Structure 1
């Protein structure tokens, strides 16, 4: 899902929830005066040089929208950058039982690592733990497992942060007017990521005295976005701001807006598709901003899996181990900065 939602090697926020040691960001650490008491390790600058062959199994949900398609595309492209990676890609599926069997096949094949974006994190936890118990490095992407023992490292987008970014944009634009009407079109309500996005949005709005006046949920698809938006627009004759969680379902949302002949509000997207960014740049629609949810999370997972199997660390950190968790930033893209993010955006 886009929801489940880009490229961001710009500014990874390290969330060392399980880190064994303090992470020091920035310059490599050994001081020039040769302080023998320093426990800052020397940075590894040879990470991209070919090393031990690494066999990685990759599984993700079906590419039923642009963001998810970009997840797999970017993972495959990243693996091709390394001659020492052999990538086994399972067919994308939204069937939890099938995805479990895919992971079991990887275990039986004795792969070195598994990069897994689960359709359902909770449902995939048990088989991921089975892989870890078998000595296979598991990288959990986007949708978290229920147990910290099910993955060596986890790469996440910042769903709560997406909501905060969208809400902060609304607050800044509203300029203290507490009478603004705010609407929200969420993704799949049963998913924790959707709940986190909505919670972050509501928390940010509270700080400027606003709240969500009208809310509906869709399913991260064009069809569901159009249906949900049609219902919302009928129920809300006046809107000032509309935050749509996902730019893929946003294609349908925009169709509904056009059909309803509504243009009195400012729309903020979510995920950061190229289509939305181009609309923001053109400045000829209700779309004025979108919040990035990186679609290169699995590509990051591929790189981390390779480092872990080869016994390497992240060269830009002083920490000698790959962190247990990486949480990526959720920047807001507007007309002012769209040219920075557009080249790495996915297509809806």
Structure 2
């Protein structure tokens, strides 16, 4: 894994701190003579106070470690700026409730909206409503059905997450004949889960010696992770690797593995929880790696919303506007590079 790159390199590089890559580029402290010639006259956002911006933030209920980290990243990033006022909702998993919360923010005439929809398809219309009201929308993580419903999308690479998990496992097992892997997925009714599985399956096509022999969906909860993993272990008497989509449900999966007394395989997690990083660093169990899906994307969304509200671009790029889309990189974290990622782990 490469070391954390320079500020400018962080923007679209290997995302050594996930979405933190974009954060740094959006708020560069570089002096004018340090910037490339193409950017000398670009009105780029900086850390210095500028035009006041009120940002409305609406996300699902924080009933999951990753979602709680999303809220924390948004709030802590907004506090960094004296020119930003953050209007944050309580969060809701009920579609109608979240639409109502967003409509309240629209009626308050916030300058920019950051929305992580509980269901992208179901909330597309309220995104369109905001845009038509002249309030630009930063669509976070779960994408709306129409690009007209947002000004900028920022999110993780779900397909890449599965792809990188598959290649990591593939390289570990490439010399083992008849290798068997199992998959513990998230919520099957979410498009992101399907994308993660597709990426994983596509990666495994490069390793003809490996077969995926079973898959269970565990709903992103500790309880379901434990129950579904127990079922997998009971059905499969010998496996060589497990890919678990989510570190939160992975807590339950590890309980089931311990209770079953199984340790013949390696496990790769997903998202980047602090507990997973610590287990990887200790290297005493089956968990050997996790694939990032950084909640710091919410901090990046605040940076983008601030730049948008101030009519700015982002330093390190030649354009006068923020991008239309930013997809984060899903780095694999194992014992060799876990120390550099430890500070980004969420509880």
- TM-score over 0.5 for the alignment? yes
* Cα distance in 2 for residues equivalent to 1:106 and 1:115: 10
| Residue of structure 1 in register with 2:157 after alignment | 158
Q: CA deviation at 1:86?
A: 0.7
Segments of 5+ residues of structure 1 without an aligned counterpart are 1-5, 13-26, 32-39
Q: CA deviation at 1:99?
A: 0.2
2:345 paired with 1:345: yes
* Cα distance in 1 for residues equivalent to 2:20 and 2:306: 20
Runs of 4 or more above 6 Å deviation: none
| Residue of structure 2 in register with 1:149 after alignment | 148
2:248 paired with 1:238: no
Two-structure CA RMSD over aligned residues (Å): 1.6
2:309 paired with 1:309: yes
Do the aligned residues in 1 keep the contact of 2:222 with 2:249 (CA within 8 Å)?
Answer: yes
| Residue of structure 1 in register with 2:37 after alignment | 30
* Cα distance in 2 for residues equivalent to 1:124 and 1:84: 29
* Cα distance in 2 for residues equivalent to 1:252 and 1:291: 18
Q: CA deviation at 1:135?
A: 0.3
CA change 1:268–1:198 in 2 (3 A) is same
Segments of 5+ residues of structure 2 without an aligned counterpart are 1-15, 23-33
Do the aligned residues in 2 keep the contact of 1:78 with 1:299 (CA within 8 Å)?
Answer: yes
* Cα distance in 2 for residues equivalent to 1:193 and 1:275: 23
Do the aligned residues in 2 keep the contact of 1:41 with 1:320 (CA within 8 Å)?
Answer: no
Do the aligned residues in 2 keep the contact of 1:166 with 1:291 (CA within 8 Å)?
Answer: yes
Q: CA deviation at 1:175?
A: 2.7
| Residue of structure 2 in register with 1:282 after alignment | 282
* Cα distance in 2 for residues equivalent to 1:60 and 1:7: 22
Aligned-partner SS, 1:154: strand
| Residue of structure 2 in register with 1:20 after alignment | none
Deviation string, structure 1 residues 301-346 (Cα, Å, up to 9, x no partner): 1110110110100111112210000000100001000001011110
* Cα distance in 2 for residues equivalent to 1:11 and 1:83: 22
Do the aligned residues in 2 keep the contact of 1:229 with 1:256 (CA within 8 Å)?
Answer: yes
| Residue of structure 2 in register with 1:108 after alignment | 107
* Cα distance in 2 for residues equivalent to 1:297 and 1:226: 28
Do the aligned residues in 2 keep the contact of 1:202 with 1:211 (CA within 8 Å)?
Answer: no
Q: CA deviation at 1:43?
A: 4.8
State TM-score, norm by structure 2.
0.89
